[in-house]
């Protein structure tokens, strides 16, 4: 039993010693540029690097940073991003890599920051903006140029 434990320890030491990446806060160790081992959960999170299908990028602590669908190497459909603490940061709709559709962003305290609409990567229609307390502070109609 001790021989197996020693062998596993040597294997982990070898993998981590050969890795050029260092843990920034002691919470995770990057094994490859697209793989993260969360020391808190012991779960390996793998970022997907794809041309077609679901793309997922993680923070070093294992929390998902962004997620969406890639089509022919471009963002397509609803893309979501999160703060490192797991709170939702934004949701934006893409078509062929261009912002096209509704978008919403939140503060880290989960209060809405803004919501609006994109047409061909340009703001369009009415946008509403809030402060961190949740009070509406501004609105702008981009169709009135």
Instruction: Residue 85: give its domain's CATH number.
Output: 3.90.930.1
Spell out the residues 6+ positions from residue 6 whose beta carbon is closer than 8 angstroms to its own: none
Are 85 and 140 part of one and the same domain? yes
**Domain extent at residue 94:** 48-145
pLDDT tens digits in sequence order for the chain, 145 residues long:
445 444 444 444 443 344 333 333 443 333 333 444 444 445 555 555 678 899 999 999 999 999 999 999 999 999 999 999 999 999 999 999 999 999 999 999 999 999 999 999 999 999 999 999 999 999 999 987 5
* CB count in 10 Å sphere of residue 140: 14
How many structural domains compose the chain?
2
**Do 89 and 61 reside in the same domain of the chain?**
yes
Same-domain check for residues 55 and 42: no
Asked if residue 114 and residue 104 are part of one domain, the reply reads yes
Whether 57 and 36 map to the same domain: the answer is: no
Do 18 and 63 fall into the same domain?
A: no
Residues 126 and 140 in one domain: yes
- At 136, list the tokens: 């509406």
pLDDT of residue 134: 96
pLDDT in tens, 11-25: 444 433 443 333 334
Using an 8 Å Cβ cutoff, are 35 and 51 in contact?
Answer: no
Length of the chain: 145
Q: For the whole model, what pTM was predicted? A: 0.66
């Amino acid at each position: 039993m001790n021989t197996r434990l020693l062998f596993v320890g040597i294997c982990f030491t070898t993998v981590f010693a050969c890795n050029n990446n260092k843990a920034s806060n002691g919470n995770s160790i990057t094994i490859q540029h697209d793989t993260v081992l969360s020391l808190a959960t012991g779960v390996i999170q793998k970022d997907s690097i794809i041309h077609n299908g679901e793309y997922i990028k993680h923070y070093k602590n294992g929390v998902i940073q962004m997620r969406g669908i890639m089509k022919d190497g471009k963002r397509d459909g609803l893309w979501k991003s999160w703060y490192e603490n797991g709170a939702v940061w934004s949701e934006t709709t893409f078509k062929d890599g261009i912002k096209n559709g509704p978008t919403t962003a939140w503060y880290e305290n989960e209060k809405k920051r803004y919501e609006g609409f994109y047409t061909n990567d340009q703001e369009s229609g009415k946008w509403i903006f809030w402060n961190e307390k949740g009070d509406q502070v501004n609105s702008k109609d981009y169709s009135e140029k």
